[in-house]
Amino acid sequence: MGKLSVLNIKGEKVSDITLNKEIWGIEPNDAVLYDAIILARASMRQGTSSTKTRAEVSGGGRKPWKQKGTGRARQGSIRSPQWYHGGIVFGPKPRSYDKKQNRKERRLALKSALAYKAIGSEIVVLDNLNLESNKTKDMKGLLANLKIEGKTLIVTDELTESLILATRNLGNLLLLEASEINVLDLVSVDHLIITEAAVKQIEEVLV
């Protein structure tokens, strides 16, 4: 992986950084990345949907009419599935949607997501994210200086109150600490803004 320019919040180059090729320069593994995305999305599902079977619907204890002689079809309960307000056949029940992926695969998936950002030149490295104030307009100014549009993930080495306040009203921004970086958020954004210190934290963990 080649060098990237390190910019300040005004969009001016201040230095260079060499990204670790064992993370940012690997050939992405699409199969493992796909599995990690499915795992992440599945873990967000509550699995609380539930329907009642004929045994759980109240009522229906008495046979609605006698077996023979009425001219109607034989029925044993008004809570059978074919009846209005009857039980549901094979309906959903509470369940867990959790999936498993081993540790090496999870690390490879994260590396692959980062590598795709590097391949697509979608990474901007900043020396710091010390804004002048906690106002939204300052964050908008930063994005304008960096000439970034679209959905963006900001990864910093430390979450400050001013940074949280400056980004929370912008629907196209997602703010994370380096320790919280994940595959699903990486693949769902157009750009990655990351501080130099956050890059080093990620490389220490993944190398």
50 plus 85 within the same structural domain: yes
Q: What is the mean pLDDT of the chain?
A: 93
Q: Which two tokens stand for residue 112?
A: 């692959």
Are 128 and 122 in contact by the 8 Å Cβ rule? The answer is no
pLDDT band at 2 (very low <50, low <70, confident <90, very high): low
152 plus 173 within the same structural domain: yes
141 plus 39 within the same structural domain: yes
70 plus 87 within the same structural domain: yes
- Does residue 128 surpass a pLDDT of 70? yes
pTM: 0.83
116 plus 31 within the same structural domain: yes
108 plus 171 within the same structural domain: yes
Which tens digit of pLDDT belongs to each residue from 106-120?
Answer: 999 999 999 999 999
Q: What is the mean pLDDT of residues 12-38?
A: 94
Q: Which domain range does residue 60 map to?
A: 46-96
- Does residue 176 surpass a pLDDT of 90? yes
Tokens 């990690």 locate to 36
- Does residue 35 surpass a pLDDT of 90? yes
Q: What is the mean pLDDT of residues 68-76?
A: 95
Q: What is the mean pLDDT of residues 14-37?
A: 94
Per-residue model confidence (pLDDT) at position 3: 84
52 plus 31 within the same structural domain: no
Are 109 and 35 in contact by the 8 Å Cβ rule? The answer is yes
Q: Which of 81, 33, 74, 92 is CA-nearest to residue 55?
A: 81
- Does residue 172 surpass a pLDDT of 60? yes
90 plus 137 within the same structural domain: no
- Please say which residue of 63, 96, 129 terminates a domain: 96
Q: What is the dihedral of CA 47, 29, 155, 205, to 10 degrees?
A: 100
105 plus 188 within the same structural domain: yes
- Split into its structural domains, the chain has a count of 2
Per-residue model confidence (pLDDT) at position 130: 87
Helices of type H across the chain? 21-24, 30-43, 103-119, 136-146, 161-167, 183-187, 196-206
16 plus 53 within the same structural domain: no
74 plus 163 within the same structural domain: no
Per-residue model confidence (pLDDT) at position 1: 53
Per-residue model confidence (pLDDT) at position 190: 95
d(CA 94, CA 98): 13
175 plus 195 within the same structural domain: yes
